[in-house]
Amino acid sequence: MRHFLDLDLLNAETLGLILNAALKEKRERGFSKASALAGKSLALVFEKNSTRTRISFQAAMQQLGGQSFVLDAGTSQLGRGETIADTARVLSRYVDAIMLRTDEHDKLEDMARFASVPVINGLTDKSHPCQIMADLMTVQEHFGSLKDRRVVWLGDGNNVAVSWVQAAVAFGIPMTVSTPASMQIPQEVQDWLANQGGHQVSFSEDPGAVAGADVVIADTWVSMGDEADAEQRLATLAPYQVNEACMSKASASAVFLHCLPAHRGEEVTDGVIDGPQSLVFDEAENRMHIQKAILLWCFGLLDEA
Ligand code: CP
Ligand code: NVA
């Protein structure tokens, strides 16, 4: 079963295969695979809000000739306590793949354990692998390759940061994760990292780590589910804002990425996100192209590397 649960569960060859397929798909405007998923359907299960993930998966399925169905916790029996295990078993009788956006990562693992179709991680409190595949695609598209591009993450050590760290390990990307001490990536991910040989991931509490970066990345300071201590987060993270002064310390050819939605004036200024170094709307578009490649891989329709 080809689940797409986390980047550390797939090797660099497979991730590269998916990335290259998405880049090709974008160049050819999807025509080469127009009926690749005819007769296939995808359930999109949301226990948290979404704009990009929801519509990019729906557009991807539609453009590949398949169909998708959205199930929101608030309007389904999930919201009344039906288990993920039972939901997985039922949906597997109706559809060919399931995407889940949820809070606890354990729920995603339950979905994969009890489903008899491929399961895709559409964001959990731990990770957001589809997003980082789109980010990698955007970097590769812009610079021509991922090689030797220095990536700096500024802000909260959240789910998006974790998937970026996993990607940096897979591809040998030099990456610095700059967070306040109280907001580092989870200990279990740091422990995993300690067992990876030869990676180039480092940590810093100094937002000045942005010096010389080729790719500067920010995300919201208050992720979905973190609202309880929002005020304290905003205060602690204020020095990590990506503003014009911060970007001026990065490489002159540096680009800015943000998974969106952005909280303008908090983690990033209008001047940066709307400025010439920002690739955020290419990045958002690439969500759709990469979802196509992820779906094709899950269905065994991409050539092996
Ligand atoms: N970046 C991202 O996952 O956006 P949505 O929350 O809108 O899906
Ligand atoms: N870190 C953010 C990403 C949103 C796409 C969150 O989890 O809310």
pTM metric for this prediction: 0.97
CA distance 86 to 125: 22
For the sheet with 67-72, list strands across it. 67-72, 41-46, 97-101, 119-121
Q: Residue type at 7?
A: L
pLDDT for the residue numbered 303: 74
Give the ligand 1 atom nearest the CA of 284: 1
Q: What's the CA-to-centroid distance between 220 and ligand 1, angstroms?
A: 11
CA distances from 256 to 82, 140, 218, 222 (A): 41, 14, 8, 19
Residue 1 lies in a domain: no
The answer, yes or no, to whether any atom of ligand 2 lies below 6 A from the CB of 158, is yes
Asked if the peptide bond before residue 239 counts as cis, ω within 30 degrees of 0, the response is no
Residue 304 lies in a domain: no
Q: Same structural domain for residues 150 and 123?
A: no
Q: Same structural domain for residues 171 and 225?
A: yes
Catalytic residue among 58, 131, 140, 241: 131
Burial of 204: CB neighbours in 10 Å, binned 0-12, 13-18, 19+? middle
Q: What DSSP element (H or E) covers 42?
A: strand 41-46
Residue 22 lies in a domain: yes
CA distance 297 to 32: 15
CA distance 39 to 112: 22
287 tagged catalytic: yes
Q: Same structural domain for residues 198 and 292?
A: no
Q: Same structural domain for residues 113 and 15?
A: yes
The answer, yes or no, to whether any atom of ligand 1 lies below 6 A from the CB of 131, is yes
The answer, yes or no, to whether any atom of ligand 2 lies below 6 A from the CB of 219, is yes
pLDDT for the residue numbered 304: 62
pLDDT for the residue numbered 305: 44
What sign has the CA pseudo-torsion 300, 13, 287, 2?
Answer: positive
CA distance 5 to 285: 21
Domain count, the chain: 2
Strand partners, 280: none
Q: What is the CATH number of the domain that holds 279?
A: 3.40.50.1370
The answer, yes or no, to whether any atom of ligand 2 lies below 6 A from the CB of 222, is no
Query: What are the per-10-residue average pLDDT scores of the chain (305 residues)?
Result: 97 97 88 83 98 98 96 95 98 98 98 98 99 98 95 98 98 98 98 96 98 98 98 98 98 98 98 98 98 97 73
Domain span at residue 184? 130-283
Q: Same structural domain for residues 66 and 93?
A: yes
**CA dihedral defined by 247, 250, 255, 260, rounded to 10 degrees?**
-50
